[in-house]
Amino acid sequence: MTAGFAGANILVDPNGFKAGEGWKLDVVVASQLVKRYNGLEAVKGIDFAVRARECFGILGPNGAGKSSTVNMLIGLSPVTAGELRVFGLDVRTAARRIKRRLGVVHQDNNLDPELSVLQNLVVYAGYFNIARKAALNRGRDLLEFFDLTAKAGERVENLSGGMKRRLTIARALINNPELVVLDEPTTGLDPQARHLVWQRLFQLKEQGVTLVLTTHYMDEASQLCDRLVIIDQGEILEEGTPRELIARHIGTEVLELGRAAGETGDLVTTAGPLIHGHQVVGDNLVLYPRDSRALLQAFQGRRLARLLLRPATLEDVFLKLTGRGLDS
């Protein structure tokens, strides 16, 4: 790693600081935040707080209101009602001051395809009034961090999807932001490319950068997020660490059974008090065991198309809360 890369330690703008209100700890605070488009209420009065140096996730299916939330946060879309503060500053009145300290990774890469990889960074640095020499140095450091040094002179259009994504994240870091907001950072990437992005985001967090990301991938949320909110239809359903949420709603494991039509009631009866809940997912019945071993034994000898005991996931939590999957 190259020097000068870590996020700044001072996370609070003294002009925005309000003694006793906890801004020092919380980089983002949303209270009763609402986004309305004409008649549609996309965000329905949500509350959340992002702590310094954590990776905070907004997990939910398509249309849940994730982008609407982050677009208000990054000053791209006006707040309809409620309050939203970043670094203790009101996004309504201090957008420019916030933007200087913020990095944004949109869903679309929107890189300049005509320019080289390094030029993309240098041109972007110009928007932050970073001098050319400093921009070149910083750009090269960022390319190194994102394994793109060998591509510095390459035109962007010749990069793979994963490389473009890494370059887009690198670009968002050109101004050394304290907070980086990423909207669906790995959508459309293959598993290997996703893992590389996750690794780099994890390293950024280790260096003290606060991350807010939206995702509809439960594995992304589990891997990266220290805390998250689960959002659906503009409302926050739950908040906590991935582990807490899974433990609170499901436990450690679930048992998936293949079910024939009309068989659900019988299977649930067999499970009896050995489960604390169940969900039907297509041809599968998902059981939430109180005692996994005893539950497995209860189905021994029974002819089932599927019998799988597996670790519980955030997808199970979402399913239990809404009756739907995250991809539905």
Specify the residue, 44 or 97, whose C-beta has the smaller distance to ligand ADP. 44
CB of 101 to ligand ADP, least distance (A): 24
What is d(CA 35, CA 17) in angstroms, rounded to the nearest whole number? 25
Residues 20 to 79 in contact with ligand ADP, rule: CB under 6 A: 37, 40, 42, 60, 62-68
Comparing CB distances to ligand ADP, the nearer of 65 and 251 is: 65
x/- letters, 113..132, toward ligand ADP (CB under 6 A):
--------------------
Least separation in angstroms between CB 167 and ligand ADP: 23
Residue 7 DSSP label: P
Cα–Cα dist 22/280, whole Å = 43
- 62 versus 328: smaller Cβ distance to ligand ADP: 62
| Binding-site string for ligand ADP from residue 261 to residue 300, where x marks contact by CB under 6 A and - marks none | ----------------------------------------
58 secondary structure, DSSP code: E
Nearer to ligand ADP, 28 or 255 (CB): 28
Specify the amino acid at residue 144: E
**For the chain, what's the residue count?**
328
d(CA 68, CA 50): 17
Quote the least distance from Cβ 10 to ligand ADP, whole Å.
31
State the virtual CA torsion across 128, 132, 134, 140 in degrees, nearest 10.
100
Please tell me whether residue 175 binds ligand ADP under the rule CB under 6 A: no
Residue number with CB closer to ligand ADP (28 or 196): 28
Which residue is it, tokens 């907004």?
58
Q: How far is the CB of 256 from ligand ADP (least distance, A)?
A: 27
Amino acid identity for residue 61 in this structure: P
What are the distances in angstroms from CA 204 to CA 61, 91, 170? Answer: 26, 24, 11
Shortest CB 213 distance to ligand ADP, Å: 12
Q: Which amino acid is at 256?
A: E
Q: How far is the CB of 146 from ligand ADP (least distance, A)?
A: 25
**C-beta closer to ligand ADP: residue 65 or 103:** 65
Nearest to residue 75, comparing CAs of 110, 101, 55, 39?
Answer: 101
User: Which is closer to ligand ADP, CB of 63 or CB of 161?
Assistant: 63
Which residues pair with residue 280 across a beta bridge?
A: 285
Cα dihedral 313→314→319→324 (10° resolution): -120
Give the residue with the Cβ less far from ligand ADP, 64 or 211.
64
Q: How many CA atoms are closer than 13 Å to the CA of 216, on its beta-carbon side? A: 17
Q: Is 10 in the site for ligand ADP (CB under 6 A)?
A: no
Pull the structure tokens for residue 189. 């990437």
For residue 8, the 8-state DSSP code is P
Contact positions vs ligand ADP (CB under 6 A): 37, 40, 42, 60, 62-68
